Chains A and B, each alone.
Chain A
Amino acid sequence: MAAVYDQVIIGGGHNGLTCAAYLARAGRKVLVLEARHVLGGAAVTEEVFPGFKYSVCSYVVSLLRPEIIRELELTRHGLELIPLECSFSPFPDGSSLVRWPDQEQTRREIARFSRRDAETYPLFGDAMMRLARFVRPILEMTPPDAIDPGLGDLLDLLKLGRRFRQLDPVDRLRKIQMFTMSAVDFLDRWFESDALKAPMAVSGIIGTFLGVRSPGTAYVLLHHYMGEIDGASRSWGFARGGTGAVSCAIADAARSFGAEIRTEAPVARIDVRNGEARTVVLEDGTEISARQIVSAVDPRRTFFGLVGREHLDPDFATSIERFKYRGSSGKVNLALDRLPNFTSRPGDGPHLRGDIAIAPSIDALERAYDEAKYGRWSSRPYLNIVIPSVVDPTIAPPGKHVMSIFVQYAPYQLEGGPESWPQHREAFGDTVIETLEEYCPGLSDSILHRQVLTPWDLEQEFGLTEGNIFHGELSLEQLFFLRPTAGWARYKTPVKNLWMCASGTHPGGGVMGAPGRNAARALLKARV
């Protein structure tokens, strides 16, 4: 059968759409197939409860590459980002800490806990910024093959090595520390106050099945400092209308370049013959052929769900099988009648315009991990809360609000097996509300609607294997030229004409779009 399309992309998440937009922009005939009725994958807005628009899964945008916003003219296609103004951490003893965009204000906040930390804090930010600057260009590159390098790979590696050498010796040391240490150990080298360290350390564990004291988590801290909503390296933000607005803007851009996008078009399998992927077969039996098939679903679903083990080299199959997912988080979305009133900082002031971290102490975070290790959700989990309706009135009726609560730990492998999650869903939701009630009593009375998503739901509903929000853990051994596996980190797969373009490839998860853009670039360069 003659190929109708140049590329068919499986999965209408933000990466699949980004890849499609870039390919269509280069004149390719592209089709995107999305299983659900709505585009966006995990970057999606849904009106689950009338009048309230939930950013059902992903709730903040930080790493979305500014070049994607510019190149795809996403603003013209309706994308508007609003920055999170601050980070608020209430504590059980009635104290609280807010980190503001104003440095002096932040210094005074921290000084109430530690005068030393207060003055160290901006220095830490500068150091992280320098290190993030080293890492940032890596996000935009197709990873060189470091295991079996060709000439081009060697050149790329050499360039990286030179960049590393250009770093200040102190920064080089810090870089090595970050690769090897735990978030807490690393922060201990800078700060003394738990009130500051606990909310900072959590950036090292989000989306991983690790604790704040697990080695390797220091590196993930760095990702926090790569958020660059405004060209300048700064801050995290909301998309006006919810995170789905990011996907919609990208989809709109893709369509404007001529891409075709179909929803409710679930793919059953990829037809592979003689080691070559040729046709996508939909669940309704429709066959669609293309010169290349690009998978925007995670590696396990791509290779075992759609391709089939029989078409894979056994060693490759094993390495994909061992790629770790281990989802560790859940999500609770609330429709609220009024704004929450925190005991430690009453009222509806600007402290609600940012993110709110329930991370009472390092020990509490580590205890939360302990429970998860043995298959239980944390009885007092770490919560990362945002109330986007405070700055974006389009997502809730006037005066009402939407609260998004990211919850860690909620291990996919529950004691009774992951299938037992649905029985525990509401109990898990209750744990989250009880935890939050300790900081804002009366919250329960203001809840109009509650949506609870367990790792099981994330897998069943959004196709995130084991509920991992990043299409595979963002741990060091699964990054860069090892993502998803050594030798196959350049978006191409061992199955001829089959490519990957989503978070399971370099540089990984988050509403970043970089894998989609990088993959499109690699595809356009490839000789077919």
Chain B
Amino acid sequence: MDFPYPRGGTYDPAMPIPTPFHDRTAPLCTSLRWKDWAGFHAVCRYGTHLEAEYHAIRHSAGLLDVSPLTKIAVAGPDAAAFLSFVTSRDIQRLRPARVRYVAICDEAGKLVDDGTVMNLGDAGYRLTAASPIWRWIDRFSAGFDVSLVDESDSIASLAIQGPRSRAILEQAAGEKIPLRYFQMAKMSFDGIPIEISRTGYTGDLGYELWCQPEHSTALWDQLMEAGKPHRLLPVGLDALDIVRIEAGFVLQGIDYYSAPTCLIESRKSSPFEAGIGFAVDLGRGSFVGSEALEREKRMPPRWKLVGLELSLPDIEKLYSSVGLPPVLPIEACRTSRPVHRRSRQVGYITSSTFSPILKSAIALATVEGSVGEPGTGLEVEFTIEHVHHRIPATVVERPFFDPPRKRN
């Protein structure tokens, strides 16, 4: 079947629309559990049971359709200068074939989005982000000799993540892939031109592949074939949500809100408050939000995004007190829950999950800066049988899970 791409084709305008990999993912998604991601059909989980997909990412490899990511081609003589202006990073120092994690802020230094910038060499740069961001950055393009093309619908992308991902790619490519962490390269997979970056959202060894939509099916088939002996499994967004919490990664719209969409000021966060202050290069001249960020950097942080480890023995005890076995579903939870220190609320959990690999209940929380030091004891609201309780939790270092293979 011809895939109804690129735009202007004959596809049914009903939303959401299929991604370039839909022909392959749809028959495999026997659970029929999909969600709308940036207007695309995205698989939540392929089977009814999530665990196999989770464990594939951590123990063999998982193949994930990430085509709905926002992708913007930034080209022209001022491309690097422009990206240095609209993101938190000094992109002028980003060498070709390198990738950098970036934050995008508004003029007040509040987060709009986070993503990556890739230096594609002569072809310019690619900016990826969680949400449509073309209009936002285009606002700042005046005075820069730069072209901005939203390629979100015209580049198909796959993430292959997990300890076997390198072996699978090398088998598919028929050559070594000596990419280091946050490096990228152009390659050809059996005649299919692709870009490959050693990046991902899992905190594990992993890669993201970028190709033209007309090659999507062939690329998928090649990877699935090469991955078979390595037990590669297609995985959906539900498993991704667990591993990204283990990796300590924040998610826009969940762990922080995009500033332009916030109706009230208190919803906005700076990169320092959202735990991605490391991605802010200050002292390099002016960029969007730099003044506010310089100022904030000098102050003690008001809010801090931290990792929390909830006390499992106390959860078990609570369940036991009502006569139930502990129920800890293997599924990420995005319900906000208050965090207390003694009698006072000091923050809230935004993402939480049981971590199968760590055997612990973990959460990402935003707490007052004064209680954000690792080792601090806090309390988290926990509801069992319709009754509110509090259970002890400890501030711990992020990432929760950080295997050496991620960087080695």
Instruction: Tell me the A residues contacting B by CB distance below 8 Å.
Output: 66-67, 69-70, 75, 80-83, 85, 100-102, 104-105, 129, 133, 229-233, 240, 350, 353, 389-394, 398-400
Report whether B230 and A398 are in contact in the complex, using a CB–CB cutoff of 8 Å: yes
For residue B307, give the distance in angstroms from its CB to the closest CB of chain A: 14
Residues of A within 8 A of B171 (CB): 398
CA distance A394 to B60 in the complex (A): 8
Report whether B59 and A392 are in contact in the complex, using a CB–CB cutoff of 8 Å: yes
CA distance A338 to B283 in the complex (A): 59
18 contacts between A and B (CB under 8 A): A66-B359, A69-B359, A75-B357, A81-B359, A83-B356, A85-B51, A101-B49, A101-B51, A231-B354, A232-B326, A232-B354, A350-B52, A391-B52, A391-B55, A392-B59, A393-B231, A394-B163, A399-B229
Q: Which of B63-71, B101-109, B271-279, B312-320 contacts A (4 or more CB under 8 A)?
A: B312-320
State which of B55, B231, B316, B359 has its C-beta within 8 Å of the C-beta of A75: B359
Known: A390-B231, A398-B167. A233 touches B325 (CB 8 A): yes
Report whether A80 and B51 are in contact in the complex, using a CB–CB cutoff of 8 Å: no
CA distance A70 to B360 in the complex (A): 8
Residues of A within 8 A of B51 (CB): 83, 85, 101
B52 to A, closest residue via Cβ: A85
Known: A83-B55, A233-B326, A390-B231. A133 touches B320 (CB 8 A): yes
CA distance A153 to B167 in the complex (A): 58
For residue B356, give the distance in angstroms from its CB to the closest CB of chain A: 6
CA distance A414 to B230 in the complex (A): 42
A66 to B, closest residue via Cβ: B359
**Interface core residue of B164, B315, B330 (most chain A CB under 10 Å):** B330
Q: How large is the interface on B (under 10, 10 to 19, 20 to 34, 35 or more residues)?
A: 35 or more
Beyond A83-B356, A230-B359, A353-B52, 9 additional pairs, beta carbon < 8 A: A70-B312, A102-B48, A230-B328, A230-B330, A232-B354, A240-B59, A393-B164, A393-B230, A394-B59
Report whether A399 and B49 are in contact in the complex, using a CB–CB cutoff of 8 Å: no
CA distance A83 to B354 in the complex (A): 14
State which of B229, B356, B401 has its C-beta within 8 Å of the C-beta of A398: B229
CA distance A350 to B53 in the complex (A): 12
Residues of B within 8 A of A81 (CB): 356-357, 359
Residues of A within 8 A of B358 (CB): 75
For residue A431, give the distance in angstroms from its CB to the closest CB of chain B: 31
Report whether B47 and A350 are in contact in the complex, using a CB–CB cutoff of 8 Å: yes
**Interface core residue of B52, B328, B360 (most chain A CB under 10 Å):** B52
Q: Which of B254-301 contact A (CB under 8 A)?
A: none
A389 to B, closest residue via Cβ: B231
Report whether A70 and B52 are in contact in the complex, using a CB–CB cutoff of 8 Å: no
Q: Does B135 contact A (CB under 8 A)?
A: no
Instruction: Tell me the B residues contacting A by CB distance below 8 Å.
Output: 47-49, 51-52, 55, 58-60, 163-164, 167, 171, 228-231, 312-313, 315-316, 320, 325-330, 354, 356-361, 401
Report whether A391 and B325 are in contact in the complex, using a CB–CB cutoff of 8 Å: no
Known: A67-B313, A230-B330, A230-B356. A393 touches B60 (CB 8 A): yes
Report whether A66 and B312 are in contact in the complex, using a CB–CB cutoff of 8 Å: yes
Task: Report whether over half of chain A's contact residues are helix, strand or loop; otherwise say mixed.
Answer: mixed
Residues of B within 8 A of A400 (CB): 229
Report whether B327 and A232 are in contact in the complex, using a CB–CB cutoff of 8 Å: yes
CA distance A390 to B229 in the complex (A): 9
Residues of A within 8 A of B52 (CB): 85, 350, 353, 391
CA distance A69 to B313 in the complex (A): 13
Known: A233-B326, A391-B59. A85 touches B49 (CB 8 A): yes
CA distance A104 to B167 in the complex (A): 37
Residues of A within 8 A of B325 (CB): 129, 133, 232-233
Known: A83-B55, A85-B49, A102-B49. A231 touches B312 (CB 8 A): yes
Report whether A82 and B48 are in contact in the complex, using a CB–CB cutoff of 8 Å: no
Residues of B within 8 A of A231 (CB): 312, 315-316, 326, 328, 354, 359-361
CA distance A229 to B51 in the complex (A): 12
Residues of A within 8 A of B361 (CB): 231
Residues of A within 8 A of B229 (CB): 393, 398-400
A104 to B, closest residue via Cβ: B48
CA distance A102 to B51 in the complex (A): 11
CA distance A508 to B167 in the complex (A): 41
CA distance A8 to B245 in the complex (A): 42
CA distance A136 to B100 in the complex (A): 49
Residues of A within 8 A of B316 (CB): 231
Residues of A within 8 A of B329 (CB): 232
For residue B161, give the distance in angstroms from its CB to the closest CB of chain A: 14
For residue A139, give the distance in angstroms from its CB to the closest CB of chain B: 13
CA distance A229 to B328 in the complex (A): 12
Residues of A within 8 A of B163 (CB): 394
B356 to A, closest residue via Cβ: A230
CA distance A390 to B231 in the complex (A): 7
CA distance A389 to B229 in the complex (A): 10
Residues of B within 8 A of A393 (CB): 59-60, 164, 229-231
Report whether A82 and B59 are in contact in the complex, using a CB–CB cutoff of 8 Å: yes
CA distance A112 to B401 in the complex (A): 43
CA distance A493 to B328 in the complex (A): 40
For residue B240, give the distance in angstroms from its CB to the closest CB of chain A: 18
Known: A129-B325, A398-B167. A105 touches B356 (CB 8 A): no
**Interface core residue of A80, A353, A400 (most chain B CB under 10 Å):** A80
CA distance A399 to B368 in the complex (A): 51
CA distance A276 to B71 in the complex (A): 75
Known: A75-B359, A133-B325. A391 touches B49 (CB 8 A): no
Known: A230-B354, A231-B312. A399 touches B59 (CB 8 A): no
B168 to A, closest residue via Cβ: A398
CA distance A53 to B354 in the complex (A): 30
Residues of A within 8 A of B401 (CB): 75
Residues of A within 8 A of B360 (CB): 70, 231
Report whether B49 and A80 are in contact in the complex, using a CB–CB cutoff of 8 Å: no
CA distance A102 to B45 in the complex (A): 14
Report whether B228 and A391 are in contact in the complex, using a CB–CB cutoff of 8 Å: no
For residue A386, give the distance in angstroms from its CB to the closest CB of chain B: 14
A126 to B, closest residue via Cβ: B325
CA distance A129 to B357 in the complex (A): 23
CA distance A450 to B154 in the complex (A): 52
B401 to A, closest residue via Cβ: A75
Known: A233-B325, A391-B231, A398-B230. A105 touches B48 (CB 8 A): yes
CA distance A350 to B360 in the complex (A): 26
For residue B139, give the distance in angstroms from its CB to the closest CB of chain A: 46
Residues of B within 8 A of A83 (CB): 51, 55, 356
CA distance A408 to B123 in the complex (A): 65
A166 to B, closest residue via Cβ: B323
CA distance A111 to B260 in the complex (A): 55
For residue A519, give the distance in angstroms from its CB to the closest CB of chain B: 21
For residue B233, give the distance in angstroms from its CB to the closest CB of chain A: 9
CA distance A392 to B230 in the complex (A): 9
Report whether B359 and A70 are in contact in the complex, using a CB–CB cutoff of 8 Å: yes
CA distance A80 to B59 in the complex (A): 8
Known: A129-B325, A231-B326, A393-B60. A82 touches B55 (CB 8 A): yes
CA distance A392 to B56 in the complex (A): 9
CA distance A133 to B316 in the complex (A): 11
CA distance A306 to B390 in the complex (A): 52
Residues of A within 8 A of B328 (CB): 230-232
Report whether A392 and B49 are in contact in the complex, using a CB–CB cutoff of 8 Å: no
B311 to A, closest residue via Cβ: A70
Residues of B within 8 A of A392 (CB): 59-60
